[in-house]
């Protein structure tokens, strides 16, 4: 019985490499049927602000699988990336990229005889990819970084399960919790909680800058790494560089209802239509899709053929031995087809699943709300009021105290600029921008209400421009905010 999937050709070289991959699938009798959907730059240009037609959205949500080529988002038009939008709208919360040394793809590590075989799992929905940004003043832009406990648990649990399926022994959490103590700190906290359920897996953590240094010096140390969205994006591309570039990097975006398999390299408009593009990344992503769908035998046969083909020195123009002729896109696909049934001398793959096979869920009538269900005692402590001002900190402190003239339940405790305390203590050498954070905290033994906090901001707005307000909370005896540098 055949499975029907949605296919989007993509932009630039997308249609050429997609045609090559589907040709290989057909030659191996992969039991798939295709519904082609309209997505990408041309649909932005046609007035579809999401980069896809309504029919495309409906088809993908009906079928649950999208196989897509690289897509371009128009620059300078205020529209969101179609790639990021697709991942977020359909809640493909785990991005899995497998990186391995490929014979025939020369790198500094292959020359040194150091084999690479590691998997990056990246959180795919949250973090700075929420794209929530504001100009608080003409000179000051801020972005909201969202890390949630349920979202972190989804991707971290997926990572542990993936490690078990692959037969790995270790999972590392990459983070920057030494600086971003609440956001990355929450991600790391959830990692440690989930790790207790997997005693058979060696779980550890590493600061992301140290991780990057070790990846480019000793990548063989690692088997699997889980990271937040932005850091995972950067580290994924770093790992692609270790094995030859994005042209050899498969990408799977896994969700509970819809999953997306794609090439993550660019659209290469400079070579589009010339028939010389390298289809390897899209083919590897397609192989991942076959494993996800349960077609592990087809996946193994095609991957072994690809590995054998590369091992023989067959290459497109972007890699390989420049003293031997390069093949075009179609001829490269034909070479892979001709080698079906052959196994590389240096390590073939087996018909085993790297993914837990999921069935499409029943149609969803309402949007799901994620929650841990934890019952934690909450206490309101105070407020940070962000204001625009060019005055000196001492002058601003007097303005802030004035806003408390009708409210005796609060103290002015701190003023910071770009995260560094400038009042009541600070350094004359701290350079200032025209946006401050003013922190008010309740007096010991008092109970405050949300309305009182908003009144402080309202009173303060009579003298300065209020840009933003953030409540200071205590959850289960733990403060839910950070101190300023120097506080």
Backbone region of residue 286 per phi and psi (left: phi > 0; alpha: psi in -120 to 50; beta: other values): alpha
CATH number at residue 417: 3.30.70.1570
Q: Check: pTM over 0.85? Answer yes or no.
A: yes
| Residue from 15, 485, 21, 28 nearest 297 by CA | 28
pLDDT of residue 364: 65
User: Are the C-beta atoms of 482 and 182 separated by less than 8 Å?
Assistant: yes
Three state DSSP letters for 383-442: EEEEEECCCCHHHHHHHHHHCCCCCCCEEEEEEEECCEEEECCCCCCCCCCCEEEEEEEE
User: Are the C-beta atoms of 336 and 309 separated by less than 8 Å?
Assistant: yes
Give the span between the Cα atoms of 64 and 58, in whole angstroms: 10
pLDDT of residue 4: 97
CA angle at residue 355 from 310 to 319, to 5 degrees? 20
- Give residues with Cβ within 8 angstroms of 239, minimum separation 6: 97, 99, 118, 120, 215, 219, 249
Q: How many angstroms separate the Cα of 365 from the Cα of each of 362, 368, 372?
A: 9, 9, 22
> Residue 426 domain-assigned?
yes
**146-163 exposure pattern, b = at least 16 Cβ within 10 A, e = fewer:** ebbbebbbbbbbbbbebb
> Residue 101 domain-assigned?
no
User: Are the C-beta atoms of 296 and 290 separated by less than 8 Å?
Assistant: yes
Around Cβ 426, how many Cβ atoms within 10 Å?
A: 21
- For each of the chain's 487 residues, which pLDDT tens digit applies? 899 999 999 999 999 999 999 999 999 999 999 999 999 888 888 877 788 889 999 999 999 999 999 998 777 556 678 888 889 889 999 999 999 999 999 999 999 999 999 999 999 999 998 888 999 999 999 999 999 999 999 999 999 999 999 999 999 999 999 999 999 999 999 999 999 999 999 999 999 999 999 999 999 999 999 999 999 999 999 999 999 999 999 999 999 999 999 999 999 999 999 999 999 999 999 999 999 999 999 999 999 999 999 999 999 999 999 999 999 999 999 999 999 999 999 877 877 777 775 555 556 666 667 777 778 899 999 999 999 999 999 999 999 999 998 888 999 999 999 999 999 999 999 999 999 999 999 999 999 999 999 999 999 999 999 999 999 999 998 999 999 988 8
Domain span at residue 428 reads 378-479
Give the span between the Cα atoms of 171 and 242, in whole angstroms: 19
User: What is the maximum alpha-carbon separation in the chain?
Assistant: 83
Say if residue 424 is preceded by a cis peptide, omega within 30 of 0.
yes
The whole-angstrom distance between residue 367's C-alpha and the CA centroid of its chain comes to 22
User: Are the C-beta atoms of 121 and 89 separated by less than 8 Å?
Assistant: no
| Residue from 136, 139, 135 nearest 433 by CA | 139
> Residue 432 domain-assigned?
yes
Cα distance from N-terminal residue to C-terminal residue, the chain: 65
User: Are the C-beta atoms of 40 and 233 separated by less than 8 Å?
Assistant: no
> Residue 425 domain-assigned?
yes
pLDDT of residue 63: 96
pLDDT of residue 348: 78
> Residue 427 domain-assigned?
yes
Let me know if 478 is exposed, middle or buried by CB neighbors in 10 A (0-12, 13-18, 19+). Answer: exposed
Six-digit token string for 357: 């096979």
> Residue 287 domain-assigned?
no
How many domains does one find in the chain?
Answer: 1
Six-digit token string for 486: 């120097």
User: Are the C-beta atoms of 169 and 221 separated by less than 8 Å?
Assistant: no
> Residue 440 domain-assigned?
yes
Q: How many angstroms separate the Cα of 446 from the Cα of each of 114, 378, 381, 409, 465?
A: 63, 15, 10, 7, 28
325-331: which pairs have CB atoms within 8 A and are 24 or more residues apart?
326/276, 328/275, 328/276, 329/13, 329/16, 329/17, 329/20, 329/275, 329/276, 329/277, 329/278, 329/279, 330/19, 330/20, 330/23, 330/275
pLDDT of residue 357: 57
> Residue 28 domain-assigned?
no
* Phi and psi angles of residue 269, each rounded to the nearest 5 degrees, phi first: -60, -20
Q: How many angstroms separate the Cα of 285 from the Cα of each of 36, 64, 150, 412?
A: 17, 16, 27, 56
């Amino acid at each position: 019985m055949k499975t029907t999937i949605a296919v989007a050709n993509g932009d630039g070289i997308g249609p050429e490499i997609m045609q090559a991959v589907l040709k290989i699938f057909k030659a191996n009798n992969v039991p798939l049927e295709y519904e082609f959907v309209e997505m990408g730059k041309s649909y932005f240009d046609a007035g579809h602000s999401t980069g896809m037609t309504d029919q495309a959205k409906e088809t993908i949500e009906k079928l649950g699988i999208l196989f897509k080529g690289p897509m371009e988002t128009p620059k300078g038009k205020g529209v969101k990336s179609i790639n990021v939008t697709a991942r977020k709208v359909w809640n493909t919360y785990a991005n899995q990229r497998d990186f391995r040394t490929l014979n025939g793809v020369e790198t500094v590590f292959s020359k040194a005889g150091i084999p690479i075989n590691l998997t990056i799992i990246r959180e795919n929905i949250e973090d700075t990819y929420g794209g929530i940004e504001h100009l608080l003043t003409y000179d000051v832009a801020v972005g909201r970084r969202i890390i949630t406990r349920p979202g972190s648990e989804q991707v971290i649990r997926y990572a542990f399960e993936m490690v078990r399926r692959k037969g790995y022994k270790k999972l590392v959490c990459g983070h920057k919790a030494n600086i971003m103590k609440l956001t990355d700190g929450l991600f790391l906290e959830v990692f440690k909680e989930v790790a207790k359920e997997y005693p058979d897996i060696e779980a550890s953590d590493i600061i992301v800058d140290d991780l990057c240094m070790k990846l480019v010096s000793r990548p063989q140390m690692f088997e699997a790494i889980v990271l937040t969205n932005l850091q995972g994006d950067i580290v994924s591309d770093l790992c692609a560089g270790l094995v030859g570039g994005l042209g050899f990097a498969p990408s799977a975006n896994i969700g509970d209802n819809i999953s997306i398999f794609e090439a993550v390299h660019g659209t290469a408009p400079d070579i589009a239509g010339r028939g010389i593009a390298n289809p390897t990344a899209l083919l590897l992503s397609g192989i991942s899709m076959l494993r996800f769908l349960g077609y592990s035998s087809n996946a193994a046969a095609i991957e072994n053929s690809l590995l054998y083909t590369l091992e023989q020195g067959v290459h497109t123009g972007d890699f390989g031995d420049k003293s031997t002729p390069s093949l075009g896109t179609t001829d490269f696909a034909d070479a892979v087809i001709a080698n079906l049934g052959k196994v590389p001398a240096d390590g073939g793959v087996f018909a085993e699943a790297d993914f837990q096979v999921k069935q499409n869920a029943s149609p969803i009538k309402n949007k799901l709300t994620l929650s841990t269900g934890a019952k934690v005692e909450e206490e309101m402590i105070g407020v940070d009021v962000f204001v625009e001002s060019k005055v000196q900190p001492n002058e601003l402190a007097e303005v802030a105290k004035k806003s408390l003239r009708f409210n005796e339940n609060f103290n002015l405790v701190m003023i910071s600029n770009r995260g560094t305390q400038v009042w009541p203590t600070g350094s004359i050498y701290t350079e200032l921008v025209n946006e401050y954070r003013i922190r008010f905290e309740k007096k010991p033994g008092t109970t405050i209400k949300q309305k009182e906090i908003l009144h402080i901001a309202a009173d303060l707005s009579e003298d300065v421009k209020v840009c933003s307000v953030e409540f200071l909370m205590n959850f289960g005896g733990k403060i839910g905010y950070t101190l300023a540098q120097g506080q």
